[in-house]
Amino acid sequence: MNPLLEVGGIGLTIGERTILTDVSFALAPGEIVTLIGPNGAGKTSLVRIILGLRKASSGTIKFRDKVRIGYMPQKLHIDNTLPLTVSAFLALAERDARKRDQALDKVGAGHLGQQPLYNLSGGETQRVLLARALLREPELLVLDEPVQGVDVNGQEALYQLIGQIRRESGCAILMISHDLHLVMAATDRVLCLNHHICCHGSPDAVSSDPAYRELFGVRTAPYTHHHDHEHSLHGEVKPVGDRHA
């Protein structure tokens, strides 16, 4: 299958500091790939390069022709004195009120349209940001720490919503997370990044990899899910058990 996104040998150096070294992977249509790693590992820098918001020092980014991308930033900074409602905020991206309402309904936030942005909880804010990203009807949804500032129960609900969006729309998702533990049930493949790709594969495989355990330590058993297929680093789909394909 033709990849939706191909990242080839991306490097980033700022002054004398190396942020990324030779990062390569591909993302298949409809696949969820999660980037995990410690603070300062280069996750957000990599995503900004993919989105064209930052220039890499080396390497290439290649999208399939005319790919529509929706982007959900890590957080939203709103001045408490700014009288901006959720609907008005979404209107900055989409003039059609019907489409705005549909996007809010998709993320379970249809009741928030007339609420002031500054009055939202962490989970409500993240749902509104997700609704804004969905307004583009994306083939690729890029989520930078989508559960930032959300309590544990809210995190699980948001990850379930992300999986539902993938099932209903068929879009691919590239997601950043600090913690593999909660994101396990919401992803097909994991790339563990610490300036370079330390390990990659299914969530189960990465959680038992020595490189992952060295970075994060041994954790309790994460949430898991099961597939009848697996993906290579370059997004190729192989039946489980076919180790020689």
Mean pLDDT of the chain: 86
Give dist(CA 188, CA 166) in Å, integer: 11
- What's the CATH architecture for 1-68+140-148+171-245? 3-Layer(aba) Sandwich (3.40)
pLDDT reported for residue 45: 95
pLDDT reported for residue 1: 64
pTM, entire model: 0.84
List pLDDT tens digits, range 138-180. Answer: 999 999 999 888 888 888 889 899 999 999 999 999 999 877 7
* Residue 78 φ/ψ, nearest 5 degrees: -125, 130
β 32-36/172-177 pair status: parallel
Lowest mean per-residue pLDDT among 3-17, 36-50, 106-120, 228-242:
228-242
List pLDDT tens digits, range 65-88. Answer: 889 999 999 877 777 777 899 999
Q: Domain extents for the chain?
A: 1-68+140-148+171-245
Q: State yes or no: pLDDT of 240 exceeds 60.
A: no
33 and 25 Cβ atoms separated by less than 8 Å:
yes
Q: What number of CA atoms fall less than 13 Å from residue 15's CA on the CB side?
A: 1
